[in-house]
């Protein structure tokens, strides 16, 4: 069997659902399990509706109903689905009314609310698939064994989920049914609905794949796979043919909008290949994520950047030979619930980075007792994922490019995962730098200097990049 996961844009309206149905049909022989996100921006709309109810006592689900009802009408679905959807909308409306009256919105209620997005989309898609003679069945994830803890908004699946999912889904598949399962959601042991974190449908899909020992899991998106850079910054970006789980995870952590960062874990353990495909362009080969990445020697795989980073510099001679100094320092961040991303240390100084969502007031005051603290805002992390066994070569070229475009690198860290080199620059410099790095490592255009290769041959193009070309 295989798992096919389709994201929100892939099921955004009737036309996209028709398209998805054809993609599923084309692989029906491989016994697909389909996992879906909510249609389009449904999750965002539900969260907005919840805020409206909470803050303004205003309840309206029109904006939510409209795209779903339109899809039902366009797909000419029968009264059965309409009744089912009506019930869901009634529940959703009632919940929102409750919030508007009590002016209270807990994590538990929020998870319950957003779960409606996926519950709606699977019912519509499965009904359409049935009308197209696919033996599809809409299933809520909890009915096939998705059990999580009670951390609402970022629930962790319990280990027993794997066994339950395998036994229930394999039975369904054996009956010749194509299950269409809600991504993103689960239930805790008390029966409360939970969510796995934004973008969590990827994780639902890889969990199913690992549990059922699937041949592969296909993650269908609206781009031709994992790209060498963010196409909004580098229009020239092209798909990476093959990449390892570690590399893909690093890219996800450092800002590439490819996969949920945690989604790689289950398949990494089970060794299940993950294929990232484009539902708008099913013929494109996509990116294959597996244990071994692409062919060597490819100097780098991809470049990514994340904006809005805070850089904290701590300098203290007290640090010299002081056991426990770093422990003390990090415990302040831990106490404030702040997660630190990159770290670089010398004998007397420590630099670290954080997402700029944190208020550093308390931490700064505490740390000032043991070090001179300087907080620098408006920074960006630029991450290069590639063969770090050739790090000297890569670093030399990165710094050459930086010098060429007049950018000063403010901190460097080479990830312990052995696949990433990250460095800090000013926010406003990041896009130009990413462009210059991409030009350097991947050449001008497919068919340009690095050579007439079809998109997807990215793995090799790094090889052709002449030293100092961008410098």
Contacts to ligand ASP by CB under 6 A: 7-8, 37-38, 43, 117, 183-184, 198-201
Q: Is 403 helix (H, G, I), strand (E, B) or coil?
A: helix
For Mg ion, the binding residues (CB under 5 A) are 8, 37
- What are the tokens at 241? 């043919």
Q: Name the residue with the smallest CB distance to Mg ion.
A: 8
Question: Which does residue 183 bind out of ligand ASP, Mg ion, none, counting CB within 5 to 8 angstroms by kind?
Answer: ligand ASP
Report in angstroms how near the CB of residue 326 gets to ligand ASP at its nearest.
36
Give whichever of 201 and 228 is closer to ligand ASP, judged by the CB atom: 201
**Residue nearest ligand ASP, CB atom distance:** 201
Could you tell which of ligand ASP, Mg ion, none binds residue 294, using a CB distance below 5 to 8 A set by kind?
none
- Dihedral over Cα of 334, 340, 346, 348: its sign: negative
Contacts of 186 (CB under 8 A, 6+ apart): 141, 142, 146, 147, 148, 155, 157, 161, 193, 194, 195, 196
Reported as type and span, the H/E element at residue 5 is strand 2-6
Task: Provide the minimum distance between the beta carbon of 258 and ligand ASP in the complex, in angstroms, as a whole number.
Answer: 12
Of 355, 259, 250, nearest to 303 (Cα)? 250
Shortest distance in whole angstroms from residue 215 CB to ligand ASP = 22
Residues in the chain, how many? 471
Pairing of strands 32-36, 136-139: unpaired
117 vs 286 by CB, closer to ligand ASP:
117
Task: Give the nearest distance from C-beta 2 to ligand ASP in angstroms.
Answer: 19
Residue with smaller CB distance to Mg ion, 37 or 194: 37
Going by C-alpha positions, the residue among 397, 406, 418, 413 that lies closest to residue 470 is: 397
Residue 225 binding: pick among Mg ion, ligand ASP, none (C-beta 5-8 Å cut-off by kind): none
CB closer to Mg ion out of 280 and 399: 280
CB of 42 to ligand ASP, least distance (A): 7
**Phi, psi torsion values for 327, nearest 5 degrees:** -60, -45
Tokens 């390892």, located at residue: 244
Helices (H), 275-374: 325-335, 361-367
Residue 200 interacts, among Mg ion, ligand ASP, none and using kind-specific CB cut-offs from 5 to 8 Å, with ligand ASP
Put the strands of the sheet holding 287-290 in their side by side order: 136-139, 178-182, 32-36, 2-6, 216-221, 274-278, 287-290, 242-244
> Closest distance between ligand ASP and the C-beta of residue 373, in Å?
36
The site partner of 298 among Mg ion, ligand ASP, none (C-beta below 5 to 8 Å per kind) is: none
The binder of 184, among ligand ASP, Mg ion, none, by C-beta within 5 to 8 A per type, is ligand ASP
Q: Which is nearer to ligand ASP, 122 or 411 (CB)?
A: 122
Which pairs from 15-18 meet CB under 8 Å and 24+ separation?
15/74, 16/279, 17/71, 17/75, 17/124, 17/125, 17/128, 18/75, 18/128
In the list ligand ASP, Mg ion, none, the entry touching 40 (Cβ below 5 to 8 angstroms by class) is none
Q: Which of Mg ion, ligand ASP, none has residue 443 at its interface (CB below 5 to 8 Å by kind)?
A: none
Q: Which is nearer to ligand ASP, 19 or 351 (CB)?
A: 19
**Nearer Cβ to ligand ASP (10/19):** 10
> Which residues sit opposite 126 in a β-bridge?
none
Residue 214 C-beta: closest distance to ligand ASP, Å: 18
- Give least dist CB 376 to ligand ASP, A: 31
Least spacing, CB of residue 183 vs Mg ion, in Å = 9
Residue closer to ligand ASP by CB (options 183, 266) is 183
| DSSP β-ladder status, 32-36 and 178-182 | parallel
Contacts of 447 (CB under 8 A, 6+ apart): 453
Judged by beta carbon distances under 5 to 8 A according to partner kind, the member of ligand ASP, Mg ion, none in contact with residue 198 is ligand ASP
145 binds, among Mg ion, ligand ASP, none (CB under 5 to 8 A by kind): none
What are the backbone angles phi and psi of residue 343, rounded to the nearest 5°? -140, 140
Specify the residue, 197 or 415, whose C-beta has the smaller distance to Mg ion.
197
Quick one: 184 or 253, whose CB is closer to Mg ion? 184
Residue 15 C-beta: closest distance to Mg ion, Å: 18
State the Cα–Cα distance between residues 38 and 178, nearest whole angstrom: 19
8 A C-beta contact, residue 50 and residue 99: yes
Residues 6+ apart with CB under 8 A from 30: 1, 2, 215
């Amino acid at each position: 069997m295989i798992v096919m996961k389709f994201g929100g844009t892939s099921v955004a309206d009737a036309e996209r659902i028709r398209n998805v149905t054809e993609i599923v049909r084309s692989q029906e022989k491989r016994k697909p399990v389909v996992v879906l996100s909510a249609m389009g921006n449904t999750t965002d709309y539900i969260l907005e509706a919840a805020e409206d109810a909470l803050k303004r006592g205003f309840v309206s689900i029109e904006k939510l109903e409209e795209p779903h009802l339109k899809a039902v009408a366009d797909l000419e679905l029968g009264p059965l689905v309409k009744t089912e959807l009506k019930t869901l909308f009634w529940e959703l409306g009632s919940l929102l009314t409750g919030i508007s009256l009590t002016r209270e919105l807990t994590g538990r209620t929020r998870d319950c609310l957003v779960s409606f997005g996926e519950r709606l989309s699977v019912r519509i898609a499965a009904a359409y698939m049935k009308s197209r003679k696919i033996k599809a069945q809409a299933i809520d994830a909890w009915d096939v064994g998705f059990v999580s803890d009670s951390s609402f908004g970022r629930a962790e699946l319990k280990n027993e989920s794997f066994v339950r999912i395998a036994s229930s889904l394999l039975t369904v598949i054996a009956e010749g049914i194509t299950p269409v399962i809600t991504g993103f959601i689960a239930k805790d042991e008390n029966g409360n609905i939970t969510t796995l974190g934004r973008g969590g449908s990827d994780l639902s899909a890889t969990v199913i794949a690992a549990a059922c020992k699937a041949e592969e899991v296909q993650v269908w998106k609206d781009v031709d796979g994992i790209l060498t850079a963010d196409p909004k910054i580098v229009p020239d970006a092209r798909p990476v043919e093959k990449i390892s789980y570690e590399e893909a995870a690093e890219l996800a952590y450092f800002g590439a909008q490819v996969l949920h960062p945690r989604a790689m874990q289950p398949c990494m353990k089970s060794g299940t290949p993950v294929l990232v495909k484009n539902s708008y362009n099913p013929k494109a080969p996509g990116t294959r994520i597996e244990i071994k990445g692409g062919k060597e020697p490819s100097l780098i795989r991809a470049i990514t950047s994340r904006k809005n980073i805070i850089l904290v510099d701590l300098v203290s001679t007290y640090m010299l030979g002081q056991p426990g100094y770093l422990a003390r320092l990090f415990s302040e961040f831990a106490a404030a619930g702040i997660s630190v991303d990159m770290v670089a240390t010398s004998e007397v100084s420590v630099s670290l980075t954080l997402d700029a969502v944190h208020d550093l007031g308390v931490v700064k005051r505490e740390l000032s007792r043991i070090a001179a603290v300087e907080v620098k805002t408006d920074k960006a992390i630029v991450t290069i994922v590639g063969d770090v066994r050739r790090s000297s070569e890569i670093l030399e070229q990165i710094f050459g490019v930086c010098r060429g475009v007049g950018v000063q690198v403010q901190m460097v860290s080479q990830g312990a995962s052995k696949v990433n080199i990250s460095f800090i620059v000013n926010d406003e410099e990041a896009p130009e730098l990413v462009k210059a790095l991409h030009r350097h490592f991947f050449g001008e255009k497919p068919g340009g200097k690095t050579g007439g290769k079809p998109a997807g041959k990215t793995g090799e193009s790094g090889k052709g990049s002449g030293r100092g070309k961008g410098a």
